[in-house]
Amino acid sequence: MNVAWQITAALIVGVCYYMLAMAMTVYDGILSLMFQPIMGAIFTLIAIAVMSLVGLPIRLMRRLNAWWRKHWWIVFLIGTVAFLMMYASWMPQFRTMILDPETQTEVASFHPVLAVGGWLLTIFAVLHFYPPLPWLRSRPQSPPSRTKRMQKDARHFL
């Protein structure tokens, strides 16, 4: 899978998770609808850069890359753990109460470590996913057969 597709997929998933979290905690009207997607994209791009650096050995070390591609299911395991962390961050026993400065009231919010950790793990999993489908892998080019070369040479002289 091309790096551009991986980054695009990570950006889409990261912004969707961000928007879901923001809608559940700080939605305050039309301004949230305008500015939160922009902030979500900015924060997700920063997270993609950080997770790219963390996963750089997977891309640069041939043996690690081959092992990672062979064990492609590990990405789904990481994604499941990340989703469970995001889910657990909203459970009542893990919620944190924060003070809303405008209304001076306590507001329930996600557990920060679980929510941000799950979000980052999700971005890492999407960013470093290599599908096991053979038609998505690059195939080495085989040299042309001798008869094809001879036909090409014969056309050149005619």
Average pLDDT of 41-67?
A: 93
* Gap between the Cα atoms of 127 and 143, Å rounded: 33
Domain count, the chain: 1
Does the pLDDT of residue 1 top 60, yes or no?
A: no
- Confidence tier at 148 by pLDDT (50, 70, 90): low
Give me the mean pLDDT over the 68-91 stretch. 92
Exposed/middle/buried for residue 110 (C-beta within 10 Å: 0-12, 13-18, 19+): buried
Residue 74 lies in a domain: yes
**Is pLDDT at 154 greater than 70 in this prediction?**
no
Q: Which amino acid is at 150?
A: M
Work out the mean pLDDT of the chain and round it to a whole number. 83
Residue 100 lies in a domain: yes
Q: Which domain holds residue 110?
A: 3-133
pLDDT grade for 141, boundaries at 50, 70 and 90: very low
